[in-house]
Amino acid sequence: MSEKETAYTNKADEFLQMFRKGEEFTKELLKENEKLRYRIAQLTETVQRSGDEARTKIYENRIQLLEEELSSLRERFMQVEQENKDFASKYIEVEEENNNLANLYVASYQLHSTLDFSEVLRIVLEIVINLIGAEKFTVLLIEDKTNELVAVCTEGMAMSEAPKVKIGDGTIGTVAKEGESFFAQDLSNVREFNPLDPIVCIPLKIKEHVIGVIAIYKLLVQKDGFTNVDYELFNLLAGHAATAIFSSRMYTQSERKLTTIQSFLDLLKEKPRR
Amino acid sequence: MRNILVVEDSPTMRQLISFAIKRVPNSHVIEATDGVDALKKLSSEKIDLILADINMPVMDGLKLVSLVRGNPSYKDIPIIIVTTEGAEEDRKRAIAIGANAYLPKPIQTQELIKLVNGFL
Protein backbone atom coordinates (compact mmCIF):
# COMPACT_ATOMS: atom_id res chain seq x y z
CA MET A 1 0.00 0.00 0.00
CA SER A 2 1.40 3.28 -0.99
CA GLU A 3 1.66 6.22 1.30
CA LYS A 4 -1.13 7.93 -0.57
CA GLU A 5 -3.43 5.01 -0.13
CA THR A 6 -2.57 4.77 3.56
CA ALA A 7 -3.35 8.49 3.96
CA TYR A 8 -6.68 7.99 2.25
CA THR A 9 -7.51 5.01 4.43
CA ASN A 10 -6.63 6.99 7.58
CA LYS A 11 -8.80 9.89 6.46
CA ALA A 12 -11.64 7.51 5.68
CA ASP A 13 -11.27 5.95 9.14
CA GLU A 14 -11.27 9.41 10.70
CA PHE A 15 -14.30 10.33 8.73
CA LEU A 16 -16.04 7.12 9.66
CA GLN A 17 -15.21 7.70 13.29
CA MET A 18 -16.48 11.26 13.10
CA PHE A 19 -19.57 9.99 11.33
CA ARG A 20 -20.14 7.38 14.07
CA LYS A 21 -19.68 10.04 16.73
CA GLY A 22 -22.14 12.22 14.84
CA GLU A 23 -24.55 9.28 14.70
CA GLU A 24 -24.19 8.66 18.41
CA PHE A 25 -24.67 12.35 19.15
CA THR A 26 -27.74 12.48 16.97
CA LYS A 27 -29.11 9.39 18.74
CA GLU A 28 -28.41 11.02 22.10
CA LEU A 29 -30.16 14.20 20.93
CA LEU A 30 -33.15 12.20 19.75
CA LYS A 31 -33.28 10.41 23.11
CA GLU A 32 -33.03 13.72 24.93
CA ASN A 33 -35.74 15.12 22.69
CA GLU A 34 -37.96 12.15 23.50
CA LYS A 35 -37.36 12.66 27.22
CA LEU A 36 -38.16 16.34 26.97
CA ARG A 37 -41.35 15.67 25.00
CA TYR A 38 -42.40 13.16 27.64
CA ARG A 39 -41.65 15.69 30.37
CA ILE A 40 -43.60 18.40 28.55
CA ALA A 41 -46.53 16.06 28.19
CA GLN A 42 -46.32 15.24 31.88
CA LEU A 43 -46.14 18.90 32.85
CA THR A 44 -49.05 19.82 30.56
CA GLU A 45 -51.12 17.08 32.10
CA THR A 46 -50.23 18.22 35.63
CA VAL A 47 -51.03 21.82 34.84
CA GLN A 48 -54.36 20.79 33.32
CA ARG A 49 -55.19 18.56 36.25
CA SER A 50 -54.35 21.23 38.78
CA GLY A 51 -56.49 23.72 36.78
CA ASP A 52 -59.45 21.33 36.82
CA GLU A 53 -59.09 20.76 40.54
CA ALA A 54 -58.99 24.50 41.24
CA ARG A 55 -62.03 25.03 39.06
CA THR A 56 -63.83 22.14 40.76
CA LYS A 57 -62.99 23.65 44.11
CA ILE A 58 -64.39 27.00 42.99
CA TYR A 59 -67.55 25.30 41.70
CA GLU A 60 -67.94 23.31 44.87
CA ASN A 61 -67.67 26.47 46.95
CA ARG A 62 -70.17 28.19 44.68
CA ILE A 63 -72.59 25.26 44.93
CA GLN A 64 -72.28 25.31 48.71
CA LEU A 65 -73.01 29.05 48.78
CA LEU A 66 -75.99 28.60 46.46
CA GLU A 67 -77.29 25.74 48.58
CA GLU A 68 -77.02 27.88 51.69
CA GLU A 69 -78.77 30.72 49.88
CA LEU A 70 -81.47 28.34 48.67
CA SER A 71 -82.06 26.99 52.13
CA SER A 72 -82.24 30.53 53.58
CA LEU A 73 -84.64 31.53 50.79
CA ARG A 74 -86.73 28.43 51.49
CA GLU A 75 -86.83 29.35 55.16
CA ARG A 76 -87.82 32.95 54.31
CA PHE A 77 -90.45 31.69 51.87
CA MET A 78 -91.93 29.49 54.57
CA GLN A 79 -91.91 32.42 56.99
CA VAL A 80 -93.61 34.68 54.43
CA GLU A 81 -96.12 31.94 53.62
CA GLN A 82 -96.92 31.59 57.32
CA GLU A 83 -97.22 35.37 57.66
CA ASN A 84 -99.47 35.36 54.61
CA LYS A 85 -101.66 32.69 56.17
CA ASP A 86 -101.81 34.69 59.41
CA PHE A 87 -102.76 37.83 57.48
CA ALA A 88 -105.41 35.90 55.53
CA SER A 89 -106.98 34.54 58.69
CA LYS A 90 -106.73 37.99 60.33
CA TYR A 91 -108.39 39.47 57.24
CA ILE A 92 -111.25 36.97 57.54
CA GLU A 93 -111.59 37.82 61.25
CA VAL A 94 -111.61 41.57 60.50
CA GLU A 95 -114.14 41.04 57.70
CA GLU A 96 -116.36 39.06 60.06
CA GLU A 97 -115.99 41.70 62.76
CA ASN A 98 -116.75 44.38 60.18
CA ASN A 99 -119.92 42.56 59.12
CA ASN A 100 -120.96 42.08 62.72
CA LEU A 101 -120.38 45.75 63.46
CA ALA A 102 -122.40 46.68 60.37
CA ASN A 103 -125.28 44.52 61.67
CA LEU A 104 -125.04 46.11 65.10
CA TYR A 105 -124.77 49.60 63.66
CA VAL A 106 -127.81 49.12 61.42
CA ALA A 107 -129.83 47.63 64.28
CA SER A 108 -128.95 50.43 66.68
CA TYR A 109 -129.39 53.13 63.98
CA GLN A 110 -132.87 51.83 63.15
CA LEU A 111 -133.88 51.47 66.81
CA HIS A 112 -133.08 55.13 67.49
CA SER A 113 -134.40 56.44 64.17
CA THR A 114 -137.89 57.18 65.46
CA LEU A 115 -139.81 58.21 68.56
CA ASP A 116 -142.99 56.50 67.42
CA PHE A 117 -143.76 53.62 69.80
CA SER A 118 -145.40 51.34 67.23
CA GLU A 119 -142.58 52.09 64.77
CA VAL A 120 -139.97 51.12 67.38
CA LEU A 121 -141.82 47.86 68.04
CA ARG A 122 -141.88 47.18 64.28
CA ILE A 123 -138.12 47.74 64.12
CA VAL A 124 -137.55 45.38 67.07
CA LEU A 125 -139.60 42.74 65.21
CA GLU A 126 -137.58 43.33 62.02
CA ILE A 127 -134.28 42.94 63.85
CA VAL A 128 -135.34 39.76 65.62
CA ILE A 129 -136.71 38.24 62.38
CA ASN A 130 -134.09 39.38 59.88
CA LEU A 131 -130.89 39.65 61.88
CA ILE A 132 -131.37 36.97 64.52
CA GLY A 133 -133.57 34.63 62.49
CA ALA A 134 -136.50 34.03 64.83
CA GLU A 135 -139.84 32.85 63.48
CA LYS A 136 -142.09 32.89 66.52
CA PHE A 137 -141.61 35.38 69.34
CA THR A 138 -143.21 38.10 71.42
CA VAL A 139 -142.19 41.34 73.12
CA LEU A 140 -143.59 41.64 76.63
CA LEU A 141 -143.47 44.85 78.67
CA ILE A 142 -143.99 45.24 82.41
CA GLU A 143 -147.24 46.92 83.35
CA ASP A 144 -146.49 49.02 86.41
CA LYS A 145 -150.01 48.83 87.81
CA THR A 146 -150.26 45.03 87.80
CA ASN A 147 -146.52 44.21 87.87
CA GLU A 148 -147.17 41.77 85.04
CA LEU A 149 -145.46 41.19 81.72
CA VAL A 150 -147.94 41.83 78.91
CA ALA A 151 -147.37 41.30 75.18
CA VAL A 152 -147.18 44.45 73.04
CA CYS A 153 -146.39 42.71 69.75
CA THR A 154 -145.91 39.21 68.38
CA GLU A 155 -144.52 37.53 65.29
CA GLY A 156 -145.56 34.09 64.03
CA MET A 157 -148.18 33.79 66.76
CA ALA A 158 -151.41 35.52 67.70
CA MET A 159 -151.47 38.15 70.45
CA SER A 160 -153.94 35.90 72.25
CA GLU A 161 -151.30 33.14 72.36
CA ALA A 162 -148.82 35.41 74.15
CA PRO A 163 -148.59 34.79 77.89
CA LYS A 164 -149.29 37.19 80.75
CA VAL A 165 -146.62 36.54 83.34
CA LYS A 166 -146.12 37.74 86.90
CA ILE A 167 -142.58 38.93 87.61
CA GLY A 168 -140.61 36.06 89.09
CA ASP A 169 -142.90 33.35 87.65
CA GLY A 170 -141.40 30.70 85.35
CA THR A 171 -138.59 31.32 82.87
CA ILE A 172 -139.99 34.61 81.53
CA GLY A 173 -140.81 36.01 84.98
CA THR A 174 -137.37 35.01 86.31
CA VAL A 175 -135.58 36.74 83.40
CA ALA A 176 -137.63 39.90 84.09
CA LYS A 177 -136.85 39.69 87.79
CA GLU A 178 -133.14 38.89 87.57
CA GLY A 179 -132.28 40.69 84.34
CA GLU A 180 -130.22 37.77 83.03
CA SER A 181 -130.76 36.29 79.54
CA PHE A 182 -131.98 32.71 79.21
CA PHE A 183 -130.88 30.34 76.43
CA ALA A 184 -132.35 26.81 76.31
CA GLN A 185 -129.96 23.93 75.68
CA ASP A 186 -132.23 22.55 72.96
CA LEU A 187 -132.84 25.13 70.24
CA SER A 188 -134.48 22.67 67.85
CA ASN A 189 -137.70 23.61 66.12
CA VAL A 190 -139.41 20.32 66.90
CA ARG A 191 -140.46 21.13 70.45
CA GLU A 192 -144.13 21.86 71.06
CA PHE A 193 -145.14 25.50 71.46
CA ASN A 194 -145.63 26.50 75.06
CA PRO A 195 -146.01 30.26 75.65
CA LEU A 196 -144.40 29.93 79.08
CA ASP A 197 -141.41 27.94 77.80
CA PRO A 198 -139.33 30.03 75.36
CA ILE A 199 -136.04 28.83 73.89
CA VAL A 200 -134.54 32.30 74.39
CA CYS A 201 -135.61 35.07 76.73
CA ILE A 202 -133.84 38.44 76.69
CA PRO A 203 -134.47 41.12 79.31
CA LEU A 204 -135.03 44.66 78.04
CA LYS A 205 -132.97 46.72 80.47
CA ILE A 206 -132.23 50.38 81.03
CA LYS A 207 -129.13 50.12 83.18
CA GLU A 208 -130.31 47.60 85.80
CA HIS A 209 -133.99 48.40 85.46
CA VAL A 210 -135.89 45.77 83.48
CA ILE A 211 -138.83 47.16 81.47
CA GLY A 212 -139.77 43.94 79.65
CA VAL A 213 -138.50 40.86 77.81
CA ILE A 214 -138.29 39.35 74.34
CA ALA A 215 -139.38 35.71 74.41
CA ILE A 216 -138.41 33.59 71.38
CA TYR A 217 -140.19 30.25 70.84
CA LYS A 218 -139.00 29.16 67.42
CA LEU A 219 -136.15 29.93 65.03
CA LEU A 220 -136.34 29.97 61.22
CA VAL A 221 -135.83 26.49 59.70
CA GLN A 222 -132.45 27.49 58.28
CA LYS A 223 -131.23 28.79 61.65
CA ASP A 224 -129.74 25.95 63.66
CA GLY A 225 -127.89 27.84 66.38
CA PHE A 226 -126.51 31.16 67.52
CA THR A 227 -123.27 32.79 66.44
CA ASN A 228 -121.22 35.42 68.29
CA VAL A 229 -122.96 38.23 66.46
CA ASP A 230 -126.34 36.86 67.62
CA TYR A 231 -125.24 37.17 71.25
CA GLU A 232 -123.98 40.71 70.50
CA LEU A 233 -127.36 41.48 68.95
CA PHE A 234 -129.13 40.09 72.00
CA ASN A 235 -126.98 42.39 74.18
CA LEU A 236 -127.74 45.31 71.90
CA LEU A 237 -131.45 44.53 72.01
CA ALA A 238 -131.33 44.24 75.79
CA GLY A 239 -130.02 47.80 76.06
CA HIS A 240 -130.87 49.79 72.94
CA ALA A 241 -134.31 48.28 72.29
CA ALA A 242 -135.23 48.94 75.92
CA THR A 243 -134.17 52.59 75.69
CA ALA A 244 -135.89 53.04 72.33
CA ILE A 245 -139.13 51.38 73.53
CA PHE A 246 -139.13 53.29 76.82
CA SER A 247 -138.39 56.71 75.33
CA SER A 248 -140.82 56.30 72.44
CA ARG A 249 -143.55 55.19 74.83
CA MET A 250 -142.86 58.18 77.07
CA TYR A 251 -142.78 60.48 74.04
CA THR A 252 -146.05 59.11 72.65
CA GLN A 253 -147.70 59.42 76.07
CA SER A 254 -146.40 62.96 76.57
CA GLU A 255 -147.51 63.91 73.05
CA ARG A 256 -150.97 62.62 73.85
CA LYS A 257 -151.03 64.48 77.17
CA LEU A 258 -149.76 67.63 75.49
CA THR A 259 -152.50 67.44 72.89
CA THR A 260 -155.09 66.99 75.65
CA ILE A 261 -153.69 69.90 77.68
CA GLN A 262 -153.47 72.07 74.56
CA SER A 263 -157.09 71.30 73.70
CA PHE A 264 -158.07 72.09 77.28
CA LEU A 265 -156.15 75.40 77.18
CA ASP A 266 -157.70 76.27 73.83
CA LEU A 267 -161.08 75.57 75.35
CA LEU A 268 -160.32 77.85 78.30
CA LYS A 269 -159.03 80.61 76.04
CA GLU A 270 -162.14 80.56 73.95
CA LYS A 271 -164.35 83.54 74.67
CA PRO A 272 -167.62 82.61 76.26
CA ARG A 273 -170.41 82.77 73.71
CA ARG A 274 -173.38 84.89 74.40
CA MET B 1 -121.26 51.82 37.50
CA ARG B 2 -123.57 48.83 38.00
CA ASN B 3 -127.02 49.53 39.48
CA ILE B 4 -128.33 47.04 42.01
CA LEU B 5 -132.02 47.24 42.85
CA VAL B 6 -132.73 46.21 46.46
CA VAL B 7 -136.43 45.38 46.85
CA GLU B 8 -137.22 45.05 50.55
CA ASP B 9 -140.03 46.39 52.73
CA SER B 10 -137.93 46.35 55.90
CA PRO B 11 -135.84 49.55 56.26
CA THR B 12 -133.43 47.62 58.51
CA MET B 13 -132.76 45.02 55.84
CA ARG B 14 -132.56 47.64 53.09
CA GLN B 15 -129.92 49.51 55.07
CA LEU B 16 -128.03 46.32 55.92
CA ILE B 17 -128.01 45.08 52.30
CA SER B 18 -127.02 48.54 51.03
CA PHE B 19 -124.16 48.54 53.54
CA ALA B 20 -122.94 45.19 52.25
CA ILE B 21 -123.31 46.13 48.57
CA LYS B 22 -121.21 49.27 49.11
CA ARG B 23 -118.25 46.92 49.31
CA VAL B 24 -118.84 45.64 45.78
CA PRO B 25 -116.66 47.79 43.49
CA ASN B 26 -118.41 50.07 40.97
CA SER B 27 -121.85 49.34 42.32
CA HIS B 28 -124.71 51.65 43.20
CA VAL B 29 -127.77 50.69 45.25
CA ILE B 30 -131.28 51.73 44.26
CA GLU B 31 -133.91 50.94 46.87
CA ALA B 32 -137.53 49.87 46.37
CA THR B 33 -140.02 49.08 49.13
CA ASP B 34 -142.14 46.50 47.25
CA GLY B 35 -142.72 44.88 43.84
CA VAL B 36 -144.68 47.81 42.38
CA ASP B 37 -142.05 50.30 43.48
CA ALA B 38 -139.41 48.00 41.96
CA LEU B 39 -141.20 47.98 38.57
CA LYS B 40 -141.27 51.79 38.63
CA LYS B 41 -137.53 51.89 39.31
CA LEU B 42 -136.93 49.34 36.54
CA SER B 43 -138.70 51.56 34.04
CA SER B 44 -136.72 54.66 35.01
CA GLU B 45 -133.23 53.26 35.71
CA LYS B 46 -130.88 50.83 34.02
CA ILE B 47 -130.72 47.94 36.48
CA ASP B 48 -127.95 45.28 36.40
CA LEU B 49 -129.08 43.08 39.28
CA ILE B 50 -132.16 42.69 41.49
CA LEU B 51 -132.09 41.61 45.13
CA ALA B 52 -135.66 40.94 46.24
CA ASP B 53 -137.43 39.79 49.38
CA ILE B 54 -140.43 37.47 49.01
CA ASN B 55 -142.81 38.65 51.73
CA MET B 56 -143.67 42.26 50.92
CA PRO B 57 -146.88 44.27 50.89
CA VAL B 58 -148.57 45.46 47.65
CA MET B 59 -146.61 43.03 45.43
CA ASP B 60 -144.50 40.16 46.71
CA GLY B 61 -141.09 39.07 45.41
CA LEU B 62 -142.32 36.01 43.49
CA LYS B 63 -144.85 38.06 41.53
CA LEU B 64 -142.09 40.57 40.79
CA VAL B 65 -139.80 37.79 39.51
CA SER B 66 -142.48 36.44 37.16
CA LEU B 67 -143.28 39.94 35.82
CA VAL B 68 -139.59 40.71 35.25
CA ARG B 69 -139.06 37.42 33.44
CA GLY B 70 -142.13 38.05 31.30
CA ASN B 71 -140.91 41.45 30.15
CA PRO B 72 -138.49 41.30 27.17
CA SER B 73 -136.74 44.49 28.36
CA TYR B 74 -135.84 43.07 31.80
CA LYS B 75 -135.91 39.29 31.30
CA ASP B 76 -132.12 38.92 31.37
CA ILE B 77 -131.56 40.83 34.63
CA PRO B 78 -130.24 38.41 37.27
CA ILE B 79 -132.45 38.13 40.37
CA ILE B 80 -131.32 37.03 43.84
CA ILE B 81 -134.07 36.25 46.33
CA VAL B 82 -133.23 37.21 49.94
CA THR B 83 -135.89 35.86 52.27
CA THR B 84 -136.77 34.39 55.65
CA GLU B 85 -138.44 31.46 53.83
CA GLY B 86 -135.70 28.88 54.17
CA ALA B 87 -137.53 25.69 53.18
CA GLU B 88 -136.29 23.74 50.16
CA GLU B 89 -139.69 23.90 48.41
CA ASP B 90 -139.66 27.72 48.67
CA ARG B 91 -136.22 27.80 47.06
CA LYS B 92 -137.32 25.44 44.27
CA ARG B 93 -140.44 27.51 43.61
CA ALA B 94 -138.47 30.76 43.35
CA ILE B 95 -135.90 29.19 41.02
CA ALA B 96 -138.67 27.66 38.89
CA ILE B 97 -140.30 31.08 38.47
CA GLY B 98 -137.00 32.53 37.27
CA ALA B 99 -134.87 33.61 40.24
CA ASN B 100 -131.15 33.02 39.67
CA ALA B 101 -130.17 32.50 43.30
CA TYR B 102 -131.81 32.09 46.68
CA LEU B 103 -130.33 33.40 49.92
CA PRO B 104 -132.16 32.70 53.18
CA LYS B 105 -132.05 35.23 56.03
CA PRO B 106 -130.30 35.97 58.30
CA ILE B 107 -127.83 36.76 55.55
CA GLN B 108 -124.09 36.29 55.79
CA THR B 109 -122.62 39.45 54.28
CA GLN B 110 -119.68 37.61 52.71
CA GLU B 111 -122.01 35.15 51.03
CA LEU B 112 -124.17 37.99 49.69
CA ILE B 113 -121.15 39.88 48.30
CA LYS B 114 -119.84 36.70 46.67
CA LEU B 115 -123.22 36.05 45.02
CA VAL B 116 -123.56 39.64 43.83
CA ASN B 117 -120.02 39.62 42.42
CA GLY B 118 -120.83 36.40 40.61
CA PHE B 119 -123.70 38.01 38.72
CA LEU B 120 -122.04 41.32 37.84
Q: What's the complex ipTM?
A: 0.86
Hey, where are the domains in chain A? Answer: 1-99, 112-261
Q: Give every CB contact of residue A272 below 8 A, 6+ residues apart in sequence.
A: none
* A222 neighbourhood in chain B, CB within 8 Å: 86, 104
Q: Find the chain A residues whose C-beta atoms sit closer than 8 A to any C-beta of B.
A: 95-96, 99, 102-103, 105-107, 109-110, 113, 123, 126-127, 129-133, 135, 220-223
pLDDT tens digits, residue range A68-77? 999 999 999 9
Please report, for residues A12, A15, A17, A20, the alpha-carbon distance to residue A6 in angstroms, rounded to integers and kept in the order given.
10, 14, 16, 21
Asked if A200 and A180 touch (Cβ cutoff 8 Å), the reply is no
pLDDT tens digits, residue range A73-119? 999 999 999 999 999 999 988 888 888 888 888 888 999 999 999 99
CATH topology of domain B2-119: Rossmann fold (3.40.50)
Asked if B52 and B38 touch (Cβ cutoff 8 Å), the reply is yes
**Which chain A residue lies closest to B19 (C-alpha atoms)?**
A102
For an interface test with B, which of A220, A223, A227, A228 has the most B Cβ atoms less than 10 Å from its Cβ?
Answer: A220
pLDDT tens digits, residue range B25-38? 899 999 999 999 99
Question: Is residue A203 predicted with pLDDT exceeding 90?
Answer: yes
Side by side, the strands of the sheet bearing B79-83 are B27-32, B2-7, B49-52, B79-83, B101-104
Q: Do A223 and B87 touch (CB under 8 A)?
A: no
- pTM of this prediction exceeds 0.90: no
* Residue among A106, A133, A222 minimizing CB distance to B12: A106
Q: Do A223 and B86 touch (CB under 8 A)?
A: yes
Top-level CATH class of A112-261?
Answer: alpha beta
* One pLDDT digit (tens) per residue for chain B, 120 residues: 899 999 999 999 999 999 889 888 899 999 999 999 999 999 999 999 999 999 999 899 999 999 999 999 999 999 999 999 988 999 999 999 999 999 999 888 888 999 999 998
Q: What is the mean pLDDT of residues A218-231?
A: 87
Residue A129, min C-alpha distance to chain B (Å) = 8
Percentage of chain A lying above the pLDDT 90 cut: 58
Residue B103, min C-alpha distance to chain A (Å) = 10
* Amino acid present at A141: L
pLDDT tens digits, residue range A16-47? 899 999 999 999 999 999 999 999 999 988 88
* A126 neighbourhood in chain B, CB within 8 Å: 10-13
Buried b (16+ CB within 10 A) or exposed e, A249-273: beebeeeeeeeeeeeeeeeeeeeee
Q: Which residues pair with B81 in a beta bridge?
A: B52, B102
| B57: DSSP letter | S
Residue A165, min C-alpha distance to chain B (Å) = 29
Q: What is the spatial distance between Cα A238 and Cα A176, in angstroms, rounded to a whole number? A: 11
Question: Is residue A189 predicted with pLDDT exceeding 70?
Answer: no
Q: Do B109 and A135 touch (CB under 8 A)?
A: no
* A129 neighbourhood in chain B, CB within 8 Å: 84, 105
pLDDT tens digits, residue range B59-72? 999 999 999 999 99
Q: Do A102 and B16 touch (CB under 8 A)?
A: yes
Residue B100, min C-alpha distance to chain A (Å) = 19
